[in-house]
Amino acid sequence: MKSQLTFEQKYQQLGQKDNQYDGLFFTAVKTTGIFCHPSCRARTPKAENVIFYDDVQTCLENGYRPCKICKPLEQIGEVPDFIKSIMVQLQKNPQDKISDEDLKQQGIEPHTIRRWYKKHHGMTFHAFQRMFRINYAFNHIKKGKSITTSAFDSGYDSLSGFNQSFQTIFGQSANKSKHKNVINVARIASPIGALIACASEKGVCFLGFVGQKHLERNFALIEKHFKAVILPTPNPHLNVLEKELKEYFAGKRQTFEVPLDIIGTEFQQKVWQALVQIPYGQTSTYKQQAISIDKLKAIRAVATANGANKISIIIPCHRIIGSDGSLTGYAGGLHRKRWLLDFESIKYKILLA
């Protein structure tokens, strides 16, 4: 099931600068000896100077060097080391304010970190810090601390400033938000595009690809279901998920152990449980899935339930194909579905050898 894109279709992607195909094929340029992601912002090479490869290893074996602009050897969505160090500081002391001067003393240019947070979180670094402090205060309020004490303990200089920030994030005052919850969200790097994950206190409730279909609709559903606000703050389940996904993409994990907090009807959950039973490296069809849950006459309903799956890869809806062997719909895109099936098939054959 290797990529069905023609040379012309792949070459057209180079002009689009669209990162949805990053990791699915690589552009090697004969005249420079460099290979890149399709979305690389470097100047588009002439078609006669281009060779497309399916993986990094083949590029390297043919003598090509990784591009210094798009860095194809890195996981897509990988967090830079300087961001990781800042995140450690925030997690240890969420009430502290890291100023531009503090960043400069650590050798980090404020405009660089500002640009990174704007690109990956849609907000400035200082706005991200405010979210951390608000989350810190909110957790203390839920544990019974007074609003005033929580506000000043979380680094705010005035109660009015705290209330204004709280209202902006939660949509209501701290006094009225005691029964609200927080769903934590994080970006996770992968070879085929950045993933976005959400988790409650019980477990992972969403996993999908950045930019996939209906992402905003899913987030709205999560907020409504959990009576919560989604914040980019730490969650131990997200840490476990990131570790297990890294092992999965390295070919060292076939099943996942991270706890899930699944949103769905009883029927949907029954359908998704059948998905989990499809062995790694193998595929099934909607009809076979319907038979497995004694719902042969409900094939269409089973297909609809598969489409409503909110936890990609872990609940492996990518393993469902058409009865004729064709690829069927996938929220992350058919190109990613094809990649996942190829990847699991290859790894499974290696394990059997």
User: Hey, which residues are catalytic here?
Assistant: 317
Cα distances (Å, whole numbers) of residue 83 to 86, 128, 129, 195: 5, 12, 13, 17
Q: Rounded to 10 degrees, what is the CA torsion of 344, 319, 78, 33?
A: 60
| Rounded distance between C-alpha atoms, residue 180 and residue 93, angstroms | 24
Q: How many helices (H) and strands (E) does the chain have?
A: 14, 8
| Rounded distance between C-alpha atoms, residue 144 and residue 48, angstroms | 68
**Sheet with strand 65-66: strands edge to edge:** 50-53, 26-29, 34-36, 65-66
Q: Which residue has the tokens 């038979």?
A: 291
Which residues touch 273 (CB under 8 Å, ≥6 apart)?
none
CB 73 within 8 A of CB 36: no
Question: Which has the closest alpha carbon to 313: 258, 235, 237?
Answer: 258
Residue 153, number of CB atoms within 10 A of its CB: 15
Question: Which has the closest alpha carbon to 345: 250, 281, 283?
Answer: 281
| Rounded distance between C-alpha atoms, residue 56 and residue 58, angstroms | 5
CB 25 within 8 A of CB 53: yes
| Burial (Cβ within 10 Å: 0-12, 13-18, ≥19) of residue 353 | exposed
What angle, rounded to 10 degrees, do the helices at 110-121 and 81-92 form?
Answer: 80
| Burial (Cβ within 10 Å: 0-12, 13-18, ≥19) of residue 337 | buried
